[in-house]
A and B are shown apart, each in its own frame.
Chain A
Amino acid sequence: MVEPVISHYGPRAYDDHPPFLYADYRSTVKRSPTKDLIQIVQTLSETTGPGPVLAELHDDDADMTTNSGTGGQAIGSRSIITGRVLDENGNGVPNTLIELWQCNASGRYVHWREVDYPAPLDPNFLGVGQCKTNTVGEYRFVTVKPGAYPWGNHPNAWRPAHIHFSLWGPSLNTRLVTQMYFPDDPLFEFDPIYRSAPEHSRTRMIASYDHTVTQENWALGYRWDIILRGELATPVEEDH
């Protein structure tokens, strides 16, 4: 019999994440903590979190090409995105809600603040969706590949195509907000948000094209695994 694990999570790998202050991304300059974080022991407040209850209360809405409510289909390169949510120990993270948002194939977001970029809205695309991982941590959703779009960080600044991911995982410790990128994007070398992640870890944010996921006469396939912090403790095998 495997005893319930007393959860205790390994540390956040600060060397794998962007710094809080990354001056090339100008908005970080005034929005980053300047005092040292205070390290604390993990209590139940940190080893629990809203992930399980969010998964319990939310259903999948995993086809962004058809969920606009118009009955029409979104314009763009239809794409299947699939992969696994894993912890650092390689265990699948089951039953976790992944919330998703993105711009349309022209690079336009459906958001009231998006006013400067004269790209068309797609009446059949909202750019939002969500899906849950299954019992072994696999997720899958369908969308159209987002376009690149300009932003005001520096002259002629363009964001590479990306999809926003928000997930909690099992605990407060495992919270992750990130962006998934598409392979071989020529804008990577010009984008300070992508480049804010250290060189050795930033490629973890790039999905790979997977021809086994691609469906004939239907959609291109991409695979992307997401790695969350994992527990330090391992289950103890008791006498049978």
Chain B
Amino acid sequence: MAKLGQTPSQTVGPYYTMKLKRIPLVGSDPVAGERIRVEGRVLDGDRNHIEDALIEIWQANAAGRYRHPADTRDDIELDPGFTGYGRFAVDFMTGRFAFETIKPGQVPDPEGEMQAPHLSLVITSRGMLNHSYTRMYFADEAEANAADLILQKVPPERHHTIIAERDDTDDMPLYRFDIRFQGDDETVFFDV
């Protein structure tokens, strides 16, 4: 059968916050895993902040299981208080986003090897006709990162754009993750 044609993407526009409200990944309910904070900015080709970017996060729980019917690994428990999804509009004045979550566990790749812990991110905004996919990896997982099937597709000199450094200055571990749309240090975006 001939395939149906995909509906084209369009921009989310400047007014999406009237509907696409903030959804936190973690709240006051207990969630298993190491509680972390992620902060960054979304920047354009002139390194001005993108004032109306939307960040969406999808991740596995601390045990490495996705809350999704396609993740059929029933031997790994789901966490009832954790969906694995969050979404955040950046701050209009600064382009800054900040969210708390738990550090995800490892999830296998199609060859059965373990991927390094990572967050999947989807970024869109006014002025973007398509959303962009990236991942955030954790700098303190050097061994797992070195073995990660997806990171091996990324030129080493670009790894720093998607591996977030850890800062233990405050009570909660902080990972800094800026998302840059152009320039020499443009963030790695994936064709998934």
Residues of chain A within 8 A of B115, CB atoms compared: 43, 45
Q: Give 7 closest A-B pairs by Cβ, nearest first.
A: A27-B127, A48-B68, A50-B85, A197-B8, A18-B129, A101-B19, A30-B45
**Contact B15 A32, beta carbon cutoff 8 Å:** no
A175: interface (CB < 8 Å): yes
**Contact A27 B85, beta carbon cutoff 8 Å:** no
Bound form: Cα–Cα A99–B23 in Å: 14
Report B117-130 CB contacts with A as 1/0, cut-off 8 Å.
Answer: 01010101111111
Residues of chain B within 8 A of A176, CB atoms compared: 7, 9
A4: interface (CB < 8 Å): yes
**Which secondary structure dominates where chain A touches chain B?**
loop
Q: Which residues of B, 6-44, contact A by the 8 Å Cβ criterion?
A: 6-20, 44
Q: Output the least CB separation between B27 and chain A (Å).
A: 13
Interface size on B, residues (CB 8 A): 69
Report A120-138 CB contacts with B as 1/0, cut-off 8 Å.
Answer: 0000001110100000000
Report A88-109 CB contacts with B as 1/0, cut-off 8 Å.
Answer: 1110000000011100000001
Bound form: Cα–Cα A133–B151 in Å: 36
**Contact B128 A52, beta carbon cutoff 8 Å:** no
Q: Output the least CB separation between A146 and chain B (Å).
A: 12
**Contact A38 B188, beta carbon cutoff 8 Å:** yes
A113: interface (CB < 8 Å): yes
Which of the listed residues B19, B46, B115 has the most CB atoms from chain A within 10 Å of its own CB? B19
Minimal Cβ-Cβ distance residue in A for B17: A111
B109: interface (CB < 8 Å): yes
Given contacts A45-B120, A90-B4, A177-B9, contact A101 B15 (CB under 8 A): yes
Bound form: Cα–Cα A175–B87 in Å: 14
Interface size on A, residues (CB 8 A): 82
Bound form: Cα–Cα A33–B43 in Å: 11
Bound form: Cα–Cα A202–B8 in Å: 7
Q: Which residues of A, 34-58, contact B by the 8 Å Cβ criterion?
A: 34-35, 37-50, 52-54, 57
**Contact B189 A101, beta carbon cutoff 8 Å:** no
Bound form: Cα–Cα A176–B45 in Å: 24
Bound form: Cα–Cα A114–B31 in Å: 39
Q: Output the least CB separation between A208 and chain B (Å).
A: 14
